[in-house]
Amino acid sequence: MVKFEEYRKSTYQWHPGHEKELRITKTSLTSDFDFCPKQYEFKRIEGRKSPETDDMRRGTNVHDAMEIYFINVRPVVEKILTLAKDGKDEDAFELMLQCLPEPKEPYTLGEEDILQTRMEWEYARLLSVDGVNYLPIMNEEEVHVHFVKKVTVNDEEYDVPIHMTGMIDRGFMTEDETVAIMELKTGKWKVDDVYKVRSMRTEMAFYADMLNKADHPYKNVTHWGWLFPAGDRLGLPNTAKHWDYEKISKRYFKSIDTRMNRLIEAHIINDFPPDPHQGKCAYCPFMEECPAWLEGGEKYWKNLRRD
């Protein structure tokens, strides 16, 4: 259940003196603002809508299905395990599949293949842990935390009220009774893409930091991971289905803090410059209005500036 009263306390349109708090989500910070401050301004501050893409719809459908799966599987997890131990793998896996919900509309975007892979991974995980801590302790967990962040901009100090919020796909208890958080993605996974691994760690650090700041009962995060069951969906070279699970890395918390400071500074000085790049702008719905693509926009092109 979305906690609307929490969202009413904050806004993306925050500026110094605003009566509400500055809302920061994982996506607004690590995707939108980091991707391009101008796009952040278009999307978050001006609230412009971009049409829902197939990728977005596919992601929502798969996320919804997995959330319901983890609710439906709860009463039958022991039965699945018993069937598996009796050597009835097909029956056990079939029972697992039955825990997926029927979609309201038939899937048309390849969701079934993605869910099949997710279920195969779930089945393997259930057997490997022998059912122990198999069920999540957090399933699409909505977390809110409110705090004041001190920043100095142009030699002036500000106490900025922050509302940090996000939805954590899943959290699990580890064998040491600490917490592992997991993120599901339906995009591609490029093999040996170091940048992607770093960006996933940054995203997970946002969640871990948020749980910690919220003094949440599951704030003791020691591990994180991500699942890309559609990593190879487009059949592109050097792509693969992929998942990772690892110990957290503290330096990514520093990275979140730095990013947050940059975002807050942009709000204080009201400066959201375009950060253009041929590749990423091609997918931006605001290109026609973006200063980087209008007359005089050369100054925003870092590579051109160097020439």
Binding residues for ligand SF4 (CB under 6 A): 36, 38-39, 274-276, 280-281, 284, 286-287, 290, 292-293
Using DSSP's 3-state secondary structure scheme, residue 25 falls into strand
Closer of 3 and 280 to ligand SF4 (Cβ)? 280
Indicate the residue among 197 and 281 with the shorter CB distance to ligand SF4. 281
Q: Name the minimum Å distance from CB 305 to ligand SF4.
A: 14
SS3 of residue 10 by DSSP: strand
Of 55 and 130, nearer to ligand SF4 (C-beta) is: 55
Given a contact cutoff of 8 angstroms between Cβ atoms, the answer to whether 111 and 120 are in contact is: no
Give 163's strand partners: 23, 146
Q: How far is the CB of 231 from ligand SF4 (least distance, A)?
A: 24
Shortest spacing between CB 166 and ligand SF4, in angstroms? 23
Tokens representing 2? 């979305």
**Residues in contact with 258: Cβ distance below 8 Å, sequence separation at least 6, in sequence order:** none
Shortest distance, CB of residue 284 to ligand SF4, whole angstroms?
Answer: 3
CA dist 89 and 74 (Å) reads: 19
Strands, E assignment, the chain: 10-11, 21-25, 138-153, 156-173, 179-184, 221-228, 242-247
**Could you tell me whether strands 156-173 and 179-184 are parallel, antiparallel, or unpaired per DSSP bridges?**
antiparallel
DSSP character at residue 190: B
Residue 123 vs 293, nearer CB to ligand SF4? 293
Collapsing DSSP to helix, strand or coil, 13 comes out as coil
Q: Minimal CA–CA distance to 223: which of 168, 171, 165, 167?
A: 171
The residue among 253 and 293 lying less far from ligand SF4, judged by its C-beta, is 293
CB of 69 or CB of 286, closer to ligand SF4: 286
Distance CA 135, CA 70 (A): 7
- Cβ 299 to ligand SF4 shortest distance, Å: 12
Closest distance between ligand SF4 and the C-beta of residue 188, in Å? Answer: 19
Instruction: Give the Cα separation of 244 and 274 in Å (integer).
Output: 33
Looking at beta carbons only, is 21 or 41 nearer to ligand SF4?
A: 41
CB of 281 to ligand SF4, least distance (A): 3
